[in-house]
Amino acid sequence: MKKKSIKDIAQELGFSKTTVSFVLNNKGDEKNISKKTQEKILAYVREVNYQPNQIAKSLKKGTTNTIGYLVPDISNPFYAKIGRLIEDLLAHKGYQLIIGSTDEKQKKEDSLLNMFVNRQVDGLILASCFENLGMLKSLAAQAFPMVFFDREDPDFNGNYILVENKVSMQLAVQKVIDKGAKKIGLLSITPNVYSLKLRIDGYKQALIENKIHVNEDLIKIVDINNLKESSENKLDYLIKEKVDAVVFTNNQITANAIWLMNMNYKEEIEKVKFVSFDNLDLFDYSLPVVTSVAQPISKIAEYSVDILLEVMKSTDRISKKIVLKPKLIERL
């Protein structure tokens, strides 16, 4: 069945398109349209289940009441929880969220950014891989409203919601050193991402300040596109090197390593301590024991929404950087 248009309704009821449009936009009283006419039009649109053309309506207003949410992997609980909170916060403001995952690939990120722009989203909240700034610089030059979280590029001026990456990781590693760990390995993904680089720097700083040699052979990079097999190979190397602690820059690697320890290294479970940047509920009861850095998810979501809405309403360029303090959860 063909969808009814305002023109169809006007013809079938014998009113002008203007009259029908005024009534549907709650301007009947303002335009001195009789109550009888208004009631007749409203009763008819309910009867035929009329749905307005949102695209045409959006083009007329110049807004779509949609926001793009772009992250490396929406299946990661960290990004999923933040996305859910952002969705709720935006719903209260009359906005809907459109979600995309980049898989840490610049080409896919650019493609999704193009898709969001073509769908005329009103703004973006994103954790960019920042490999190539071409698309982002183009959007920034057009004053397109954007807020970045979790990731940053020191060379790109924008609105950022971040956490203390280096210091927080340093403090977490210090906890296992205080418990006697001396040979500490590290597994990370995408070390070129600035926030993850800072976490690696924090790990190194903790070793240096405790006069523990920074052995680059114990720092292993996991292939994000082959997480399970790559983690298994790198963790196997560290276990055979007799490390007494392993540091992870991302909760997904930690969760995978917990599974691998329980499958392949049960005799080592109580000998090796884990340190994870980002927390998971799993860590409350898992073995090996995990000391984790829990990012303030609620605050990240709240600041992201508040600043984006501020940017969208302002005629001036806004550039804010908020750095939040994570919570250290000790489970030693």
pLDDT in tens, 25-45: 888 888 899 999 989 988 888
pLDDT band at 250 (very low <50, low <70, confident <90, very high): very high
Please tell me the distance from the alpha carbon of residue 23 to that of residue 42, in angstroms, as a whole number.
8
Evaluate if residue 3 carries a pLDDT over 70.
no
- Can you give the pLDDT at residue 265? 95
CA dist 161 to 86, 98, 213, 308, 322, Å? 13, 20, 33, 11, 5
Phi first, then psi, for residue 205 (nearest 5°) are -65, -40
Query: What mean pLDDT do residues 69-83 have?
Result: 96
- Residue 88: alpha-carbon gap to chain centroid: 14
Please tell me the distance from the alpha carbon of residue 275 to that of residue 172, in angstroms, as a whole number.
7
DSSP state of 162: E
Using CA of residue 231, residue 234, residue 236, residue 241, what is the dihedral sign?
negative
Please tell me the distance from the alpha carbon of residue 19 to that of residue 75, in angstroms, as a whole number.
48
Evaluate if residue 253 carries a pLDDT over 80.
yes
Q: Pick the closest to residue 74 from 96, 109, 103 (CA basis).
A: 103
- Can you give the pLDDT at residue 48? 79
pLDDT band at 62 (very low <50, low <70, confident <90, very high): low
pLDDT tens string 264-322:
999 999 999 999 999 999 999 999 999 999 999 999 999 999 999 999 998 888 899 99
Where residue 49 falls (left for φ over 0; alpha for ψ -120 to 50; beta otherwise) is left
Position with higher pLDDT, 4 vs 283: 283
Q: Which two tokens mark 310? A: 């501020």
Q: For all residues of the chain together, what is the average pLDDT?
A: 92
pLDDT band at 59 (very low <50, low <70, confident <90, very high): very low
Domains of the chain: 6-52 (1.10.260.40), 64-163+298-324 (3.40.50.2300), 165-294 (3.40.50.2300)
Please tell me the distance from the alpha carbon of residue 277 to that of residue 246, in angstroms, as a whole number.
12
pTM confidence score: 0.81
- Can you give the pLDDT at residue 127? 97
- Can you give the pLDDT at residue 52? 66
Query: What mean pLDDT do residues 146-159 have?
Result: 94
Q: 33-42, 60-69, 126-135, 194-203: which has the minimum mean pLDDT?
A: 60-69
- Please give the sequence-ordered ranges of beta strands (E in DSSP) within the chain, or none if there are none: 66-71, 96-101, 123-126, 146-149, 160-163, 184-188, 219-221, 245-248, 273-277, 290-294, 321-324, 327-329
Query: What mean pLDDT do residues 143-160 have?
Result: 94
